[in-house]
Amino acid sequence: MDSVVGAVFGTVLAVVVIIVFEFLLRLSLAIVKLAQTGFSWAKTPAIPFFGHLKWIDSGQCPWNFSDISPKPGASTYCVLRGTLPCLVTSDPEFIREICINAAAHFHSRMVDPLAPDPHSARGVHVFGARGARWKRIRTLSSRALSTKQLRLFVPVVVDQTERFLQTFDDPECESKDVNVHSLFQSLTAAVIGRCAFGLGAIGVNEVPEHFEHIMNMFGNQPTVGWGSATIQWCIPSSTSTMNVASSFWKRLKKTAKAPNELLDDFIRKCLVNSKTTCAGALPCDFVQSLKGYLHEYDEKNVKFERKSPVFVNKDATVNDWIDSEEIVAQCRFLSIAGFDTTSNTLTFACLLLAETPSALTKCLTELDALSDSLDYDDISSAGYLHCVLMETLRLFPHASMLQSRLCTSSYTLPNGKVIPAGVGILFDTWALHRNKLLWGPDADEFRPERFLEPTIAENAFTPFGMGPRQCIGMRFALMEAKIVLTMLLRKYVPVLPPGVSHKTVGMALIDTNTVWPTDLKLSFKKRE
């Protein structure tokens, strides 16, 4: 008996020693890599061995990076996200350099140990992919969001928005404070359901299946406890072991499927039922567009992509094929990102317009002059509305935590500083967008007219990212937001409750890695 206990103890001790050794080795290598960059270190966190992981995962991080800045005005500095070496930057020249000029060295998003392997996993979407695989998925997905497709989507968005506005047509709702963010989420989820999955018209009180799954997946602030995610950030090699253990435990306990699994099942059902051709002038939904390139997983198809993890040839021919699980992953990503980011933008835009009567008046004058039957050209011609959305995204770059890069091969910056391979880059977009040296002394104020000025700091504006990996859904999101605001503001104007302003509005980083307004309520007054 003693020998068995001794053997078990010895095995456990050996495992602990190996884990500690790997952790210390990774931590040491990360510190060495960051030291090679020559940038200053951020303020020391409360628990140095785990770096700034818990602080970055907190719900107040995106707009408070200055709290860990080594000195006032420091634009780039070193942090440790577990054992991942990272640089935080709000330097527009640095961001432009790595996103555009040196994109081949920074073509990947920052590594997330909890995400599927970008090379070997079947279910990888464009956001998580890299190298040749990223280019293939990006190219095929871009065709589903072409200008031609956007034009065909306009009537769909208009029809769904008309149904949404029935909420405000009820006399009992007029001038009543409502959770506008929640309302916009229901609308954008319905639009995505029709444009991504080919669903029919969705009633104002209906909760489509995909939206139910998404809301069960997200909406909470990230945990800052010491769970399995912390272990995986500190020891990435533990991820595969934990995934196997989790899968075994689920089968053993016969637990119900998680919301993300249910959403994937829903998309697979849409994929099976979807046709591969579009009828007449009807738009192809995302699933339908990608199904036209469907080719089931084959080791030969991914052999080249695995050998070419670095994006070295931007002119290389893209193979027109996509695996069914890639379609599921891509449509899951587009549906979550599409419903989430657009509803955030619409909410913050209404807040800012309600707070700024002069901007609201200019916006109404422009929108009232558009034709009654909106089309793509009408929306594109609304210049001041475009400025309103740009200024909203400048003040509230709610997807900033999704903007990151990973150095895949060492690169020397124009200033001589070296970024070693394996270093991640986090963008401090909030500081960049409110930098008074770049945007003027009124950088904290809502002034859409600044985007009409020739001196606009274009290189310092990155709400959708920059370069080849700029947000793939940007044009769709802006089109949808413009249609919704046009139709809403033609009938109603937002009214700000007492004591609410864009400088005091509650916000939190949610587990979608985007910033949501918390408990913001506005009322909408019917126009005369």
Q: Which residues contact 508 (CB under 8 A, 6 or more apart)?
A: 59, 60, 221, 515, 516, 518
Other beta carbons less than 10 A from residue 277's beta carbon = 8
* Single-letter amino acid, residue 129: A
Q: In what order do the strands lie in the sheet with 404-406?
A: 76-81, 84-89, 424-427, 404-406
Q: Which residue has the tokens 């699994």?
A: 261
Kind plus residue range of the DSSP H or E element containing 525: strand 521-526
Nearest to 413 by CA among 37, 74, 87, 69: 37
Whether the CB-CB separation of 506 and 360 falls below 8 Å is answered with no
* Single-letter amino acid, residue 213: H
Residues of each annotated binding site: 471
**Strand-strand pairing, 424-427 and 84-89:** parallel
Residues of each annotated binding site for heme: 471
Kind plus residue range of the DSSP H or E element containing 193: helix 180-197
CA distance 489 to 56: 37
Q: Which residues contact 362 (CB under 8 A, 6 or more apart)?
A: 384, 448
Integer angstrom CA distances of residue 306 from 111, 136, 173, 238, 240: 17, 13, 56, 22, 19
